[in-house]
Amino acid sequence: MSTIELIIDNATVITMEGEGLGIIENGAVGVDGNRIVAVAQSEVVRRDYTAHRTIDASHKVVMPGLIDAHMHSGLGILRGIAQDTDNWMEKGLWPFMQFLTPEQRKAGSLVNIIEGLKAGTTTFGDYDSGMNTIVQNHIALGTRAHVCDMINEMPERMSDSRQVGDLYPLDPTVGEKKLQDNLTLIENYHGSENGRITCLFGPQGPDMMSKELLLEVQNLAKKFDTPIHMHVAQGDREIDQMVKRHGKRSIPYLEEIGYLDERLMAVHLTEATPEEAKTVARSGAAMLLCSGSIGIIDGIVPPAAEFLETSNRLALGSDQAPGNNCNNMFNEMKFTSILNKCRNGDPRAFPAWQMLKSVTINAAQAIGLGEDIGSLKPGKKADVIILDLDSPAMFPTIQAPIRNIVPNLVYSANGSEVETVIIDGQVVVDEKIVQTVDEQQAVVDGQEHANDLASQVRGVDTPLTKMMTDGLL
């Protein structure tokens, strides 16, 4: 009998292995170092192993940690400042972002990541400017981070005379600096923290950079053998820019220049036509779907159903706090399922089991980490969460004749049911308490930075200013 570090015992284990969800009743998971060494019936694991620590998971669910494939944690400090308006980015976000400092980005990011972590997210696809600083939050917290520094050729400040819809003034010197920031991130952090931090390239979108810079990024991604994480057809604003500048919509343009392949992680596809979504799927590229954000910002349900006709390389993301207002993958699963049921006029569309796969094993495969995470299997990295079935939102628990746990996880749970979060074999959240940083102090520090930012932007006119004047906010 071998002695290992941890056994999680007597649980309903959702492994995500096989065609279904690989559910084991009265199951156990054994962890040693940063790897899973056993997944089986409790009696089998207890027969083969003893452990330095045993967690009794009776009346609990044990499953892989959730994957947030696309988020901008550095915008966490801007939560709630751009809702319920058209031209969300240009009218709502940009007036605030021009005052945002690196210190404010980092402080808001830390609170944002804590929010996701406590709701069961173990892998964060963090995609933001200033990632060389923000990545320090992931290192401190112990989260698994799949990160890039956002690359574009956009000037830091737009001309006051610029109107919504005018072509962006692209500046190659800005692009080269931001590309260098991304390269620095890769050189300093890729594979660090025992492989917990992985880095890739992050062009912001085909509308925000020249063809030359896009192709330079592609060549570098091939050289470093990394994916490319990029917004694609993310809104009518992007399509308008592409047609004016290149005479083509985003996806035909990317297809023409050879950008659609297995290396590309295409975010949103908000304005993609059904056929364009199928084109992306046929190319082998992944789709990162942020239903909550796009629903709130654009009132659109992206063509994920058409993408899934060809490929299962679909992952869910929470996007950013000033759009979606939360970084919680339980919210994304429910939102995605309901919106697509409505879009398709079919209650069978986007079922609960498919949503769970889209934040675990399918997500891991979509972002290129499927060999290491996304399911509970001996040899994979120990990213595991434990949820309490005694939570009112999970009541009642029925195992037969119909098991109701999976639908309740997707349609009822809100993330507060998560009790324990294990990442790379380390218990990062224990009995709902973050073990690696002082959560309360992070919120206090973040609020001080938010107060400083608010004092800088007084007098800025946005659509929410009138709501404020009218007493609606």
DSSP3 helix / strand / coil % (the chain, rounded to 5): 40, 25, 35
Q: Are residues 9 and 81 in the same domain?
A: no
Beta bridge mates, 35: 32, 381
The reported pLDDT for the residue numbered 457 is 80
pLDDT in tens, 354-388: 999 999 999 999 999 999 999 999 999 999 999 99
Whether 265 contacts 288, CB under 8 Å: yes
Q: Are residues 159 and 281 in the same domain?
A: yes
Helix residue ranges, H only, 23-101: 42-48, 94-97
pLDDT at 82 over 90: no
Q: Are residues 330 and 421 in the same domain?
A: no
Which residue in 263, 282, 262 sits closest to 272, CA to CA?
A: 282
Q: Count of domains in the chain? A: 2
207 falls within a domain: yes
pLDDT at 157 over 70: no
Instruction: Give the span between the Cα atoms of 396 and 432, in whole angstroms.
Output: 22
Q: Are residues 31 and 74 in the same domain?
A: no
Instruction: Give the span between the Cα atoms of 370 and 314, in whole angstroms.
Output: 12
The domain spanning residue 314 has which CATH number? Answer: 3.20.20.140
Bond before 102 cis per omega within 30 degrees: no
Q: What is the mean pLDDT of the chain?
A: 95
CA 376 remoteness from chain centre: 20
Which residue in 118, 138, 119 sits closest to 127, CA to CA?
A: 138
Final residue of a domain: which of 338, 366, 394?
366
Q: Are residues 296 and 159 in the same domain?
A: yes
The one-letter amino acid code at 215 reads: L
Going 329 to 142 to 417 to 36, the CA torsion angle's sign is positive
Final residue of a domain: which of 331, 366, 401?
366
Of the listed ranges 9-13, 77-81, 230-234, the least confidently predicted one is 77-81
Q: Are residues 126 and 231 in the same domain?
A: yes
Q: What domain range includes position 218?
A: 66-366
The domain spanning residue 46 has which CATH number? Answer: 2.30.40.10
36 falls within a domain: yes
288 falls within a domain: yes
Q: From the CB of residue 347, how many other CB atoms can be counted at a distance below 10 Å?
A: 11
Token pair listed for 307 = 């993408």
pLDDT in tens, 90-125: 788 888 888 899 999 999 999 999 999 999 999 999
Q: Are residues 298 and 288 in the same domain?
A: yes
pLDDT in tens, 201-227: 999 999 999 999 999 999 999 999 999
Instruction: Give the span between the Cα atoms of 415 and 61, in whole angstroms.
Output: 13
Calculate mean pLDDT across residues 189-200. 97
Q: Are residues 271 and 220 in the same domain?
A: yes
464 falls within a domain: no
473 falls within a domain: no
The reported pLDDT for the residue numbered 116 is 98
196 pLDDT tier (thresholds 50, 70, 90): very high
Q: Are residues 428 and 307 in the same domain?
A: no
Calculate mean pLDDT across residues 255-274. 98
The reported pLDDT for the residue numbered 164 is 63
Burial class (CB in 10 A: 0-12, 13-18, 19+), 110: buried
Final residue of a domain: which of 366, 391, 412?
366
Q: Are residues 93 and 37 in the same domain?
A: no
162 pLDDT tier (thresholds 50, 70, 90): low
Whole-prediction pTM: 0.96
346 falls within a domain: yes
Whether 58 contacts 10, CB under 8 Å: yes
pLDDT at 13 over 70: yes
Instruction: Kindly report the backbone phi and psi dihedral angles of residue 87, in degrees, each rounded to the nearest multiple of 5, phi listed first.
Output: 45, 55
Q: Are residues 80 and 21 in the same domain?
A: no
Collapsing DSSP to helix, strand or coil, 414 comes out as coil
Scored b (16 or more CB within 10 A) or e, 22-40 reads bbbeebbbbbbebbbbbbb
The one-letter amino acid code at 116 reads: G
The reported pLDDT for the residue numbered 468 is 81
Instruction: Give the span between the Cα atoms of 382 and 391, in whole angstroms.
Output: 25
Q: Are residues 345 and 206 in the same domain?
A: yes
Calculate mean pLDDT across residues 300-313. 97
pLDDT at 161 over 60: no
The reported pLDDT for the residue numbered 163 is 65
78 falls within a domain: yes
Instruction: Give the span between the Cα atoms of 103 and 372, in whole angstroms.
Output: 33
